[in-house]
Amino acid sequence: MSVLVLADHDLGRLSPSTARTVHAVAELGPIDILVLGEGVDQVVADAAQISGVQRVRVSQDSGFVGQSAEALVPLLAELAEGYSHIVASAGSVGRDVMPRLAAKLDLMPVTDVTALLGPNRFERPIYAGNAIETVTSNQTQHVLTIRTSSFAPAANGNSATIEPVSHAPVISAARLIDALRTEGDTPDLGSARIVVGGGVSVGSAEGFKLIEQLAAQLGAAVGATRAAVDAGYAPNDWQVGQTGKVIAPDLYIAVGISGALQHLAGIQGAKKIIAINKDAEAPLVQIAELRLIGDLFEMVPALMRELEAR
Ligand code: FAD
């Protein structure tokens, strides 16, 4: 058995999700990482350091800029032959690429894997995380996406071989025209140790600044409910939940969030939850380890003053 992991990267940086994906599949056999994209020298160097990686295979063809499935899938399908498992993180690229790859290889993909029970037995959440399904596959090859928040990152300290991949010119009808990015120096939401999440009850984009200030004080990432995002109070990439990001921080501070099922689906990996809410009966308050019942506009500044004083 051997494993091919598609590296997750952006702006010339390797995403922390790649080391988590490698850790998830570490027991399955020798691991190769595939890096596709232009200007990825640093990505390749960082990937080679991940423990457990045998080889980093790389193509810097300009056709891979934008990471479109149309460009990535043909090469992945060509390389797949030598591997028992072809794996990516369940991020936006992996979710797009892997089902198409599976279709091309005539395989059943297993998506959002949260535990590997063996080479062909996997756990994954269903019904928005309300049940865990165990999938046993009798296929000889497996196409997987990994829910990386369920796994710790593999350690660094390796020096894997780096090998270019030769392939036919990339032909794709898709072309990256522009990428609009949110700039910020807060930690990555998907791998942050502390996340402060705000709900629609903050009332405005200006009100959301309070959430951001508390997060900055704690060195935390900022999350939001879909209601807050839909209202325009927080950017789309802060959304946590079934249709947003799945997070697994050590601490989640939920400010003015009711705890709808779709939001809870994104925070099930959180180890401790503090809920700040004026409604003691709110579902999220019910599952929190620590409950601060009251008006968020009083409680958050009070909490910040208390933290400042320490
Ligand atoms: P509300 O449910 O309105 O809750 C507001 C909370 O704030 C209440 O508990 C209230 O007591 C409290 N509050 C009000 N004022 C104050 C105050 N001054 N001080 C303290 N507390 C106060 N939602 C997500 O979050 N993520 C998703 O990915 C997601 N995906 C969805 C997918 C589908 C298909 C659908 C149908 C819905 C999805 N939703 C998602 C929406 C979800 O159902 C809820 O509508 C949403 O999570 C509610 O957000 P909220 O907690 O901010 O708002």
- Angle, helices 296-309/205-218, rounded to nearest 10 degrees: 30
- Give the contacts of 203 (CB within 8 A, at least 6 positions apart): 233
Q: State residue 19's pLDDT score.
A: 97
Residue 40 corresponds to which tokens in the numbers above?
């990825």
57 marked as part of a ligand binding site: no
Only one residue has tokens 């309070």, namely: 210
**pLDDT band at residue 202 under the 50/70/90 scheme:** very high
CA of 240 to the centre of ligand 1 (A): 11
Task: Report d(CA 124, CA 139) in Å as an integer.
Answer: 17
Ligand 1 centre and the CA of 127: distance in Å? 19
The answer to whether 253 and 239 are in contact (CB under 8 A) is no
Which mutation among 127, 195, 201 tests ligand 1's pocket best, with the greatest number of atoms within 8 A of CB? 201
Percentage of the chain modeled with pLDDT above 70? 100
144 C-alpha vs ligand 1 centroid, how far in Å?
31
pLDDT at 304 over 80: yes
pLDDT digit string, tens, across residues 237-277: 999 999 999 898 999 999 999 999 999 999 988 999 999 99
Judge whether 34 and 110 are in contact, CB under 8 Å.
Answer: no
**Burial grade of 166 (CB within 10 A; 0-12, 13-18, 19 or more):** exposed
Question: Over the stretch 29-42, which tens digit does the pLDDT of each residue have?
Answer: 999 999 999 999 99
| Residue 218: pLDDT band with limits 50, 70, 90 | very high
Q: Taking 80 as the threshold, does the pLDDT of residue 44 lie above it?
A: yes
Torsions phi, psi for 243 (to 5 deg): -105, 15
Q: Is the pLDDT of residue 115 over 80?
A: yes
Q: What is the mean pLDDT of residues 92-102?
A: 96
Structure tokens at 222: 């900022």
Q: How far apart are CA 240 and CA 197, in angstroms?
A: 8
Reported confidence tier of residue 213, pLDDT bands at 50, 70, 90: very high
Q: 261-295: buried (b, 16+ CB within 10 Å) or exposed (e) per residue?
A: ebbbbbbbebeebbbbbbeeebbbbebbeebbeee
- The answer on whether 207 is annotated among ligand-binding residues is no
Distance 104 CA to ligand 1 centre (A): 39
For the segment 164-187, the average pLDDT, to the nearest whole number, is 85
pLDDT at site 200: 98
Residues lining ligand 1, Cβ inside 6 A? 199-201, 225-228, 239-244, 256-258, 260, 262-263, 266, 277-279, 282, 295-297
Residue nearest to atom 2 of ligand 1 (CA): 258
Task: Please tell me the predicted confidence (pLDDT) of residue 187.
Answer: 85
Q: Is 259 annotated as a binding residue?
A: yes
Buried b / exposed e over 129-141, threshold 16 CB at 10 Å, is: beeeeebebeeee
The 10s digit of each residue's pLDDT in 137-163 is: 999 999 999 999 889 999 999 999 999
Residue 177, marked binder: no
Confidence of residue 191 (pLDDT cuts 50, 70, 90): confident
Cβ atoms of 211 and 202 within 8 Å: the answer is yes
pLDDT at residue 272, rounded to an integer: 97
Question: What is the average per-residue pLDDT within 176-201?
Answer: 87
**Protein residue with least CA distance to atom 38, ligand 1:** 262
Which pLDDT score, from 0 to 100, does residue 75 have? 97
Q: How far is the CA of 261 from the centre of ligand 1 (A)?
A: 9
* Cα torsion through 106, 110, 112, 114, rounded to 10: -150
The answer to whether residue 176 scores a pLDDT higher than 80 is: yes
Give me the interface pTM, i.e. the ipTM: 0.99
> Locate tokens 């000889």: which residue?
140
Whether residue 118 is predicted with pLDDT greater than 80 in this model: the reply is yes
Interatomic CA distance for residues 188 and 19, integer angstroms: 14
Q: Indicate which atom in ligand 1 lies nearest the CA of residue 225.
A: 25
Nearest-CA residue for ligand 1 atom 13 is: 256
Mean pLDDT of the chain: 95
**Do the annotations mark residue 261 as ligand-binding?**
yes
Our mutation pick for probing the ligand 1 site, out of 208, 210, 225, 236, counting the most ligand atoms within 8 A of Cβ, is 225
Residue 89: HSE in the Cβ half-sphere, 13 Å Cα cutoff: 27
